[in-house]
Structure 1
Amino acid sequence: MTQYMFTGFPGFIASKLFHALQEKSPSASFVFLVHPTQLTKARHMCSNPHIQLLPGDITKEHLGLSKNQLKQLQEEVTHVFHLAALYNLAVPKEAAHAVNVVGTEHVNRFVRSLNNLQRYVYFSTAYVSGDREGPVTEDELDCGQGFKNHYEWSKFEAEKKVAQLEGVPVTILRPGIVVGDSQTGETAKFDGPYFIMRFLDALRQWPIPYIGKGEAYFNMVPVDYIVEASLALAHSEKAVNQTFHLTSPSPPRVRELIHMISEELLGKKPALTAPFSLFEMIMKLPPIPRWLSVQKESLVYLSSHAEYDCRKARSILLAAGIDCPDVADYLPQIISFYKRHRDDHDKKIAVE
């Protein structure tokens, strides 16, 4: 019998993956390693008798589980999806290391103890590329790059440890910047391009500026594509011991994205170009990020010149009928959802 185990539930992507798997494999059972602080929320989201919620913590030895729990899992779990991580761009180094690096080491050790493992799916990020510029292929990892924040660095260190596993059927996934559902616009948090929306929203009574030259590509992907692609690769024999970019094959440049957002959100085109350095200066003023609910650490991604090659992923996904939609086709749904929920406190990013 197939048994899927998840870390990172009830997070947004983990929850979407679970519901999609439920539809595809109604007879499968599920085990969720849930941090104690998320247990109440997880219970509200689960009513299926084939679901087991286990309070645990990836930062602890044996994931904080008992010997009896571990013994049962070692015999029954067939697939592990490891999504638990600190995704905050402003995360302190110590916290990022404890959760993203040490936590992944603990999950790796657990995975190696499983007797019937068919696949270990690790969710990394395209931004393990750090400060690299130009083409980045799916088979590249350690190229001597530096990192823009502790989040990138810790995911890089964690991915290295997963890639070094021997005798384990691993699939490593590197999503781009994940946004809401391409059909409904639904999302859990307003980060990534939503920061652009919040910024332009605040300027709606003024001439709208482009942010610098805007020549960099902004690689965003809708969550439903991430879910479809992840499940297809998790069950493809061609994906064993491979790494894939779940990124857009044709991302917009930042200038083009700002133009599209401004027209859809505000009904008007940007009228001028302001220096990127001006926005950097403004975002360093503490009241501004808090007022906008925008992390100043996010601004650097508007000038990141990495270009993510996703041909290896697409060779498998296109054969399965899965393709990443174009931003222009789903941006109206993303912005419509944002408009309806822009004041929802739970969707705003906490900025200190």
Structure 2
Amino acid sequence: MSVLVLGGSGYLGRAVCLELEGAGLDVVALSRSGSAAAGRGLRGDVTRHNLGLFGDELAELQAEVTHVVGVFGSVDWDSGPAQALDVHATGVRNVLRFSRACPKLEALVHVSSLLAFGRAEGRVGNRELYVGQDFRNWYEYGKYHAEALVREAEDLPFTVLRFGPLLGPDPAGHALGAGDGLLAAVPYLLQGYPVHLKHGGRFPSYVGDVVGAAEVVAAAVRTPATGATWTWFDPALPTVAEVMHRLCRPWGVVPKIVDSAVVGRVQRLVASRIGLPKALLDYAEPWFDLDPSVMDTLPGGPPACRPGYLAGTGRALLEPEADLQGSFT
């Protein structure tokens, strides 16, 4: 097998490349930087025609690739429409076009997000995508639109993977970026500000360990593509409150989580002044009702997360390169 990992230098991409190379596969990691934690690095750009590749380099890659894995994309919940759609929609269209020109292609593995459900009402599972939901932000809509494009590509063999927010130090020991997703709330909590969460945050976060997610990607590469959708998250189902407590524990801080509509309204008024990303305020209530049987279709069952991966995330945020301290401005 020859596997092209798009976004191979990113947080999940590095873990995927290491997992695939460890399984003995030939790995090409494409990214704007051209760097690779494992396999061969290749400079390219999914938002450009032919992924930014030309001539012999393009022809040789398409001739040898058997699997294309898309783990690229921004996780910035505050991204605007241009950024979200350029990466998630234009990028996927380019990937589909590239994949159709690969004569040996056995599977396209597309990494989507559970947040593509947005503000869905009623129970949702692997088969559903559009259920009449609206979206909190352009990130959610971008992930929804990208998955819809893949599902419409009936001429290609594909598997769609859905993950929630991914945490944990990556297997190469890299620190995390602290500015996106759930982690963007950590500087606010460490400064002692109260945060409003419905039911005190006692609802599922659907987080998962990045290493477990990489194992699911590798399983999708090994399994014949049938157009199925797989979902994976931490089988222990830690709540949002549990995640926040474990992230803050290495700092010796107990986060102030309250169920107070008054606090929620005040936060919206002063969010920009105290450094709280407004997008996070939209996740203060339970997200959606996810069918617990969604992981039953995973071959071999759902991978377990590494023990202590949440606390390990908090410890990784202590590292200077995580730039968490710099976000206190």
Q: Same fold (TM over 0.5)?
A: yes
Instruction: After superposition, give the CA deviation of every residue in 1:116-150 in whole Å (9 maximum; x if it has no partner).
Output: 01111111101110111442201100112110101
28, 32, 54: which is aligned to 1:31?
28
User: Using the alignment, how far apart are the partners of 1:83 and 1:303 within structure 2?
Assistant: 28
1:14 deviates by 0.6
- Name the counterpart of 1:19: 18
- Name the counterpart of 1:252: 238
1:200 deviates by 2.5
User: Using the alignment, how far apart are the partners of 2:41 and 2:188 within structure 1?
Assistant: 42
AA partner of residue 29 (structure 1) = D
User: Using the alignment, how far apart are the partners of 1:34 and 1:225 within structure 2?
Assistant: 22
1:221 deviates by 0.7
User: Using the alignment, how far apart are the partners of 1:22 and 1:257 within structure 2?
Assistant: 31
- The reply on whether 1:295 has 2:277 as its aligned counterpart is yes
- The reply on whether 1:334 has 2:313 as its aligned counterpart is yes
Distance 1:158 1:287, change over 3 A: same
1:98 deviates by 1.6
Query: What aligned pairs does 1:1-352 form with structure 2 within 5 A after superposition?
Result: 2-25=1-24, 28-35=25-32, 38-39=33-34, 42=35, 45=36, 51-53=40-42, 55-181=43-169, 187-190=175-178, 191-203=180-192, 211-213=197-199, 214-237=201-224, 240-258=226-244, 265-266=251-252, 273=258, 275-285=260-270, 286-289=272-275, 294-309=276-291, 311-317=293-299, 319=300, 322-325=302-305, 329-338=308-317, 340-341=318-319, 343-344=320-321, 346=323
Distance 1:116 1:12, change over 3 A: same
User: Using the alignment, how far apart are the partners of 1:344 and 1:52 within structure 2?
Assistant: 23
Q: Secondary structure at the match of 1:21?
A: helix
8 Å Cα contact 1:120/1:171 also seen in 2: yes
Q: Secondary structure at the match of 2:83?
A: helix
Instruction: After superposition, give the CA deviation of every residue in 1:31-87 in whole Å (9 maximum; x if it has no partner).
Output: 23322xx24xx1xx45x7x6251x322222222221433321221001111122222
Larger radius of gyration: 1
Aligned residues: 326
User: Using the alignment, how far apart are the partners of 1:120 and 1:331 within structure 2?
Assistant: 30
- Pick which of 259-268 and 153-162 moved more: 259-268
AA partner of residue 15 (structure 1) = R
Distance 1:189 1:310, change over 3 A: farther
- Amino-acid identity (%): 23
Distance 1:186 1:136, change over 3 A: farther
Distance 1:24 1:300, change over 3 A: same
1:287 deviates by 2.6
Q: Secondary structure at the match of 1:302?
A: coil
AA partner of residue 252 (structure 2) = L
In the superposition, the TM-score normalised over structure 1's length comes to: 0.80
User: Using the alignment, how far apart are the partners of 1:62 and 1:222 within structure 2?
Assistant: 32
AA partner of residue 200 (structure 1) = L
1:96 deviates by 1.5
8 Å Cα contact 2:250/2:314 also seen in 1: yes
- Pick which of 110-119 and 183-192 moved more: 183-192
8 Å Cα contact 1:7/1:34 also seen in 2: yes
Distance 1:263 1:19, change over 3 A: closer
Q: Secondary structure at the match of 1:323?
A: coil
1:22 deviates by 1.3
User: Using the alignment, how far apart are the partners of 2:130 and 2:13 within structure 1?
Assistant: 27
Q: Where in structure 1 are there 5+ consecutive unaligned residues? A: none
1:23 deviates by 1.2
Instruction: After superposition, give the CA deviation of every residue in 1:319-344 in whole Å (9 maximum; x if it has no partner).
Output: 26x53339x85433333333x32x54
8 Å Cα contact 2:121/2:133 also seen in 1: no
User: Using the alignment, how far apart are the partners of 1:83 and 1:94 within structure 2?
Assistant: 19
Q: Where in structure 2 are there 5+ consecutive unaligned residues? A: none
8 Å Cα contact 1:9/1:34 also seen in 2: yes
Q: Secondary structure at the match of 2:128?
A: coil
User: Using the alignment, how far apart are the partners of 2:8 and 2:28 within structure 1?
Assistant: 10
Q: Secondary structure at the match of 1:166?
A: coil
